[in-house]
Amino acid sequence: MTGLADAHPPWSAILVDEPGWRAAMEALAAGELTLVSLWGEPGMVHMALSRAHGESVILDLPCPEGRYPSVGAAHAPAIRLERALFDLHGLVADGAVDTRPWLDHGQWEVRHPLGAAAPSTGPAPYAFLPVEGESLHQIPVGPVHAGIIEPGHFRFTANGETVARLEARLGYAHRGVDGLMAGAALDRAAQLAARVCGDSTVAYSLAFARAVEAALGFEAPPRAAWLRALLAEMERLANHLGDIGAICNDAAFSLMLAHCGVLREQVLRTAKVVFGHRLMMDCVVPGGVSVDLDVTGEALVRDLVRTIRERFPTLVELYDETAALQDRTVSTGIVPRELVQRFAAGGYVGRASGRTFDARRDFPYAPYDRFTFKVAVREEGDVNARVWVRIDEVDESLSLIEQILGESPTGPVHVNPPSGSGEGTALVEGFRGDILAWVRILKGRIERAHLRDPSWFQWPLIEACIEGNIVADFPLCNKSFNCAYAGCDL
């Protein structure tokens, strides 16, 4: 490896040559390092890596010829990121095992819109991975689905009812966020970040804001940090409550959906009254938060916590006691522990299979560095375990909210970002897992940004966990993951 480049505080950045890059690939393949993300820009690829407990680094590899050694060839979790990188920038991964397009479906007017743009060659047939064997048949599903869900295509190869292989094809929700970010003023860029993934708008806004603050070397006021955590925990609550109900509904137990739906709605209504927006969009901004919490608001949030504490335990009991429900969730869609480790799957997907990572604890940021909280972990890796991790996280969020309300400092909630230039990185824990934001700012404008959704490392595990299950259990498995489409497609 060669010398230190600019810092990406608190992540250090190292400018590497090819041998340095390959050494990192080997360490990834050996399980000594964790792949956090891989992205590009003209003439350069970046790879974010971490080790346990907050040790983190970004490798910058110049590739003036437009080629770099394929990380995916040594470490499978990088494959889709590399495919996306090629589609957007035209940078070629040498030795790549999968060179099919990912985001580019041949529908844009240009190829490589963020690199050396070339006219599109139009749509081409997409080769799904081959499956061979007797009595196999294919079931294509999507991108338009029967329910109200995001667009994606699933190709099932089944033997009767049993799934032999599932392959997802995504990219349908690609809006070109990276391209729109380039050159954007901070406030517009923050709005874009808030709209990468609607259910994680607080988490994305937070990751983006913290990356900007790291880049410009300033901090949001202490009270802002506490309110950000309050917003983030409210978002986690709303999503977990909604999903727990929806998972049970996919196991044909709609009573849970009805009751969980009421609690979720109450979270959103409280958010609307207290913060002015049901999903809390645009509440977290670079420099702090755009809303403050007054005495009335605080009382409303406390009421909400009380209501959920009162009602949720009965629902948990109902989940636990209903044999017909357990029959569907226990031992369905198992993700082996080795896989979540190798893919460094975050959130409840990783934690339900014994990987204890939580960015709030392992990359601590204010105010979580002040709190002690349990990181819920299960070992079984099935749908049931993912439900239980979420149940435990609801409890944990309630107690975090109480701590935040009880101890939050007073003072201003926003400072104007200084104008300036720099690079910054942040990792925050959204409801589905860790979200990475990296920005480079040039004189107060975003020059380049990269946002990495947790689902990049969770989608491939759905494909793995469904094998040998029946087709009819797919919705249930899928809901227990609830991977992001828009977040990955960007």
In angstroms, rounded to a whole number, what is the distance separating the alpha carbons of residues 74 and 437? 25
As measured in angstroms, the least distance from the Cβ of 195 to ligand SF4 is 4
307 binds other proteins (CB under 8 A): no
As measured in angstroms, the least distance from the Cβ of 96 to ligand SF4 is 33
Q: Which is nearer to ligand SF4, 204 or 253 (CB)?
A: 204
As measured in angstroms, the least distance from the Cβ of 98 to other proteins is 19
Please choose which of ligand SF4, other proteins, none residue 265 contacts, taking the beta carbon within 5 to 8 angstroms, the exact cut-off set by kind: other proteins
In angstroms, rounded to a whole number, what is the distance separating the alpha carbons of residues 227 and 206? 11
In angstroms, rounded to a whole number, what is the distance separating the alpha carbons of residues 124 and 264? 43
236 binds other proteins (CB under 8 A): no
Q: Do 451 and 437 touch, CB atoms closer than 8 A? A: yes
Binding mask 330-349 for other proteins (x = CB under 8 A): --------------------
Q: According to CB under 8 A, which one of 23, 182, 262, 464 is a site residue for other proteins?
A: 262
- 474's enclosing H/E stretch is helix 474-481
Helix-helix angle 383-407:295-321, to 10 degrees? 160
Q: What is the CA radius of gyration of the chain?
A: 22
197 belongs to an annotated ligand binding site: yes
Among 99-107, 344-352, 391-399, 432-440, the segment contacting other proteins (CB under 8 A): 99-107
In angstroms, rounded to a whole number, what is the distance separating the alpha carbons of residues 122 and 276? 44
- Binding residues for other proteins, rule CB under 8 A, total 56
DSSP β-bridge partners for residue 424:
439
The footprint of other proteins on residues 173-212 (CB under 8 A) is: 173-177, 179-180, 188, 191-192, 195-199, 201
In angstroms, rounded to a whole number, what is the distance separating the alpha carbons of residues 39 and 383? 32
Q: According to CB under 8 A, which one of 186, 308, 315, 436 is a site residue for other proteins?
A: 315
In angstroms, rounded to a whole number, what is the distance separating the alpha carbons of residues 244 and 392? 11
DSSP β-bridge partners for residue 448:
440
Q: Do 208 and 190 touch, CB atoms closer than 8 A? A: yes
278 binds other proteins (CB under 8 A): yes
318 binds other proteins (CB under 8 A): yes
As measured in angstroms, the least distance from the Cβ of 245 to other proteins is 9
101 binds other proteins (CB under 8 A): no
Number of other CB atoms surrounding residue 372 within 10 Å: 7
Is the omega angle on the peptide bond into residue 125 within 30 degrees of 0, that is, cis? no
| CB closest to ligand SF4, residue no | 195
Give the DSSP letter string of 298-351: HHHHHHHHHHHHHHHHHHHHHHHH-HHHHHHHTTSSPPPHHHHHHHT--HHHHH
As measured in angstroms, the least distance from the Cβ of 487 to ligand SF4 is 12
Among 14-22, 105-113, 209-217, 462-470, the segment contacting other proteins (CB under 8 A): 105-113
CA 29 to chain centre: 22
Locate tokens 């970040």: which residue?
Answer: 193
CA 135 to chain centre: 37
Please choose which of other proteins, ligand SF4, none residue 486 contacts, taking the beta carbon within 5 to 8 angstroms, the exact cut-off set by kind: other proteins
Q: Which is nearer to ligand SF4, 290 or 480 (CB)?
A: 290
As measured in angstroms, the least distance from the Cβ of 320 to other proteins is 8
In angstroms, rounded to a whole number, what is the distance separating the alpha carbons of residues 329 and 249? 11
Locate tokens 């049931």: which residue?
Answer: 384
Q: According to CB under 8 A, which one of 21, 86, 156, 172 is a site residue for other proteins?
A: 172
As measured in angstroms, the least distance from the Cβ of 383 to other proteins is 20
143 binds other proteins (CB under 8 A): yes
As measured in angstroms, the least distance from the Cβ of 144 to other proteins is 5
Q: Do 33 and 49 touch, CB atoms closer than 8 A? A: yes
Output the known binding site for Mg(2+): 451
Query: Residues annotated in the binding site, as ranges?
Result: 197, 451
Chain residues binding other proteins by CB under 8 A are 103, 105, 107-110, 113, 143-144, 146-151, 171-177, 179-180, 188, 191-192, 195-199, 201, 242, 255, 258-259, 261-262, 264-265, 268, 272, 278-279, 281, 314-315, 317-318, 321-322, 484-486, 489
* Binding residue ranges for Ni(2+): 197
